[in-house]
Amino acid sequence: NAGVTQTPKFQVLKTGQSMTLQCAQDMNHNSMYWYRQDPGMGLRLIYYSASEGTTDKGEVPNGYNVSRLNKREFSLRLESAAPSQTSVYFCASSELAGGLAKNIQYFGAGTRLSVL
């Protein structure tokens, strides 16, 4: 009954360090998403993968890279972290196969990242 699992839950980085946020889903969903959430800004889409083997930029992709490793896993990489990337990061997945219900996105518990 895991749903969407994100690791790590918390991370502190120094400016310029790199790290990868991991996300895995066990619902056999086709699509996966990475968002960031900042106070007063709401959820903003960073990258998404509509299906295995494809990735697309969202609203705020600069400074990030993604990899859809397989159908279950979608990772987000910060190559050179900056203080502006301090945020809460959420991974989500959806079935996305037509029909309103298929667009429902299920979220992981989030990663709280601080860049000093």
Q: Which residues bind other proteins (CB under 8 A)?
A: 31, 33, 40-43, 45, 48, 50, 56, 58, 90, 96, 100-101, 103-110
Q: In the complex with other proteins, which residue's Cβ is closer, 27 or 82?
A: 27
Q: Is 59 helix (H, G, I), strand (E, B) or coil?
A: coil
Token code pair at residue 1 = 């009954």
What distance separates the 2 farthest-apart alpha carbons in the chain? 44
What is the nearest approach in angstroms of other proteins to the Cβ of residue 10? Answer: 11
CA distance 29 to 38: 26
What is the nearest approach in angstroms of other proteins to the Cβ of residue 105? Answer: 6
Phi first, then psi: give them for residue 9, nearest 5 degrees.
Answer: -85, -35
What is the nearest approach in angstroms of other proteins to the Cβ of residue 45? Answer: 6
What is the nearest approach in angstroms of other proteins to the Cβ of residue 51? Answer: 8
CA distance 71 to 79: 23
DSSP 13-37: E-TT--EEEEEEESS--SEEEEEEE
Q: In the complex with other proteins, which residue's Cβ is closer, 23 or 81?
A: 23
Q: In the complex with other proteins, which residue's Cβ is closer, 41 or 82?
A: 41
Q: In the complex with other proteins, which residue's Cβ is closer, 84 or 103?
A: 103
